[in-house]
Amino acid sequence: MTVRPLPWLRPVLYALLVGLAILYLLPVYVLVVTSMKSFAEVNLYRMWDWPARFSLESFVHAWAGSETQGFRGLSHNFWNSVRLGVPATLLSALLGSLNGYVLSKWKFRAADTLFALLLFGMFIPYQSILIPLVQVLRRIGLYGSILGLIFTHVVYGIPITTLIFRNYYATVPGELVEAAKIDGAGILGIYRYVVFPISLPAFAVVMIWQFTSIWNDFLFGVIITPRPAVQPIMVALNNLAGSYIVEWNVQMAGALLAALPTVLVYVVLGRYFMRGLLAGSLKG
Amino acid sequence: MTQNATPTRVAPALAARAVRRGGRGPTADRLISLLLIAPSLIVIAVFVYGFIGFTAFASLTKWNALAPDFSWVGLQNYAQLFSTIRFQIDLRNTVTFTVLFLVVCLSLGFTLAVLLDQRIRGEGLFRSVFLFPLALSFIVTGVVWRWMLNPGSVQLGSTGVNLLLEKVGLGFLKSGWYTDPRIGIKAVVIAATWQMSGYVMAMYVAGLRGIPEELREAALVDGASSFQVYRHIIVPLLNPITLGAMIILGHISLKIFDLVVAMTGPGPGFSSDVPAFFMFETTFRGNNFAQGAGIALILLVMVAVLIVPYLVYSLRTETQR
């Protein structure tokens, strides 16, 4: 026991924690309960009531859309986000790993300065690059496509992925690399046979981080892909939620569907998720 | 760093070694290392610094129509922006949001971390509950909280949080939330805090774990109360974490966009509008590219003022280590 609270404080402590936990879970309660009510039962003025019977109608509408009401479901956009997130994440991780390797084990003059300049790129408000970005993507024919989004996410993912790998490789003893050099291995050989095999934890952190940020991104999606058929999930969810013809329970079900992949990642791989978060504060 | 020293004088010896291992001596490695990192550096130079330069240039031109018009107008766009009521409200909202968000999020995060630091049963479970909103998108958070803070109507009755407050006998706390222009952006702080306070908690928990037990125990033995231990030993030791959290939250709140889009939009009388949203509308809906570029650059300067000293400080202390 570290700082011993007085004995009577103990129940107060637990009461506080449970109370706060309930407050944090309230939105989840509404989200889940609402999306599981049947249309007949959905009522804004009874939104805290437990459903009389469970129904998946809301999910079906949010996923597949409704032709009679004339709105698109999220299914298509969900797969768009998968087709965007997976390759962009893999590419980002590979680039970050190579950059981190060079910047930690093959330092050249001005490497630290360049690294600082690189890092600044992860904090900039993307508004300050959007106008030329759209022009350039148009020019090279990537505007309005998932490929354009992959490209954008990979480019602006370079700073954070490089940071995480550089910090990770800084903990790898230099002797390991030196020994491999003496054995006659070159830079690529050392990466392939010494560094890459022990990079798994860093790859996990970076891939989870990148996938989550790409999945959750809205700004790049809404700017680069104006066509609904190409849009990633968060842009589609925002459209769904902003439409007056879509009932609020369908919006809630849509929000739940859109949140599912990253929440699952968090539940299963929470430990790595945390490390990525803390790396974001430069203290990796 | 030993790899840095590759004098050219020893070139013959190096060449001999290079031959021994198939033509890949240290100089070749040096070259390959530069080739490996060059694409990223070039891409960042163009897509970050080049683009910022272009945006800065565009903000000084007459380009306020679909077709580019690069006639120079100096600071005219900025002068016009600062005299626009919407932008003035936006800047005020940004300050309100940032200050409130930082204060509430830091205090809540710190409280949660201290509570969890008392050897709690089920600590992992509690931590997950406070942390999971971080895995969500601001869009999801915005959609949920828009319904949570939907006040309902006098005729038909309350909804969301208001309804819940009525049910538990706290009806006097009912509010118009984001529909009330006097509250506006402050309602967005509630949702943002729900999402981000777990992050602060996690940072503080990591910090608290790093403080040696002996330090606390020594103070307790010396007769300090628990409160004094926190006040005089633990909080000062956590200062670097507080600083880090302030920087991270601060730059998020200056850039806040998604949450406002999904939750409130500009709100009545722009009461929940922010510069990033104004930029989006004026640029990509109104084709006022020069004006949008101006807003973007003001945002960038605000973020840079916060981030650049922190970056320099972090990297300095890193080299000193």
Q: What is the band of B320 on the pLDDT scale with cuts at 50, 70, 90?
A: low
**Given the DSSP bridges, would you call strands A65-66 and B152-153 parallel, antiparallel or unpaired?**
unpaired
A223 with B284: Cβ contact below 8 A: yes
**Chain B residue with minimum CA distance to A257:** B140
Verify that B155 and B28 share a domain, yes or no.
Answer: no
Q: What is the band of A135 on the pLDDT scale with cuts at 50, 70, 90?
A: very high
B124-147 tens-digit pLDDT: 899 999 999 999 999 999 999 999
Q: What is the band of B229 on the pLDDT scale with cuts at 50, 70, 90?
A: confident
Report in angstroms the alpha-carbon separations of B198 from A25, A72, B111, B161. Answer: 13, 34, 11, 21
**Chain A residue with minimum CA distance to B258:** A218
Residue B71 lies in a domain: no
Verify that B27 and B95 share a domain, yes or no.
Answer: no
Taking the C-alpha atoms of residue A96 and residue A121, their distance in angstroms, rounded to an integer, is 14
B38-94 tens-digit pLDDT: 999 999 999 999 999 999 999 999 999 999 999 999 999 999 999 999 999 999 999
Say what the pLDDT of residue B290 is. 97
Predicted model pTM: 0.91
Which amino acid, residue B24? Answer: R
For A169-234, strand residue ranges (E) read: none
Whether A91 has its CB under 8 Å from any CB of chain B: the answer is no
Say what the pLDDT of residue A210 is. 94
Verify that B80 and B52 share a domain, yes or no.
Answer: no
Verify that B54 and B120 share a domain, yes or no.
Answer: no
Tokens 């290079």, residue located:
B18
Residue B186 lies in a domain: yes
Verify that B129 and B212 share a domain, yes or no.
Answer: yes
Q: Which two tokens stand for residue B301?
A: 């300067």
Residue B64 lies in a domain: no
Within 8 A of B19 by CB-CB distance, chain A residues are none
**Residue A281: pLDDT over 70:** no
Say what the pLDDT of residue A131 is. 97
Which amino acid, residue B275? Answer: P
Residue B216 lies in a domain: yes
Query: The domain that contains B145 carries what CATH number?
Result: 1.10.3720.10
Say what the pLDDT of residue B25 is. 62
Q: Of A146, A267, A139, nearest to A212 (Cα)?
A: A267
Verify that B51 and B88 share a domain, yes or no.
Answer: no
A45 with B133: Cβ contact below 8 A: no
End-to-end CA distance of chain B: 15
Taking the C-alpha atoms of residue B176 and residue B264, their distance in angstroms, rounded to an integer, is 13
Whether A58 has its CB under 8 Å from any CB of chain B: the answer is no
**Given the DSSP bridges, would you call strands B157-158 and B152-153 parallel, antiparallel or unpaired?**
antiparallel
Q: Which of A52-61, A225-234, B234-243 has the highest mean pLDDT?
A: A225-234
Question: What mean pLDDT value characterizes chain A?
Answer: 91
Q: Which domain holds residue B115?
A: 76-320
Number of domains in chain B: 2
**Residue A2: pLDDT over 70:** no
B184-194 tens-digit pLDDT: 999 999 999 99
CA-based nearest distance A6→chain B, Å: 9
Question: Can you name the CATH fold of A75-279?
Answer: MetI-like fold (1.10.3720)
DSSP H stretches of helix in A110-199: 111-120, 127-139, 146-170, 174-182, 187-190
Q: Which of B58, B88, B105 is the last residue of a domain?
A: B58
Residue B185 lies in a domain: yes
Residue B196 lies in a domain: yes
Residue B113 lies in a domain: yes
Domain boundaries, chain A: 9-62, 75-279
CA-based nearest distance B182→chain A, Å: 23
A230-255 tens-digit pLDDT: 999 999 999 999 888 888 899 999 99
Within 8 A of A169 by CB-CB distance, chain B residues are none
**Chain A residue with minimum CA distance to B51:** A129
Say what the pLDDT of residue A6 is. 60
Verify that B46 and B166 share a domain, yes or no.
Answer: no
Verify that B169 and B230 share a domain, yes or no.
Answer: yes
Within 8 A of A178 by CB-CB distance, chain B residues are 2
DSSP B61: B
CA-based nearest distance A82→chain B, Å: 15
A131 with B283: Cβ contact below 8 A: yes
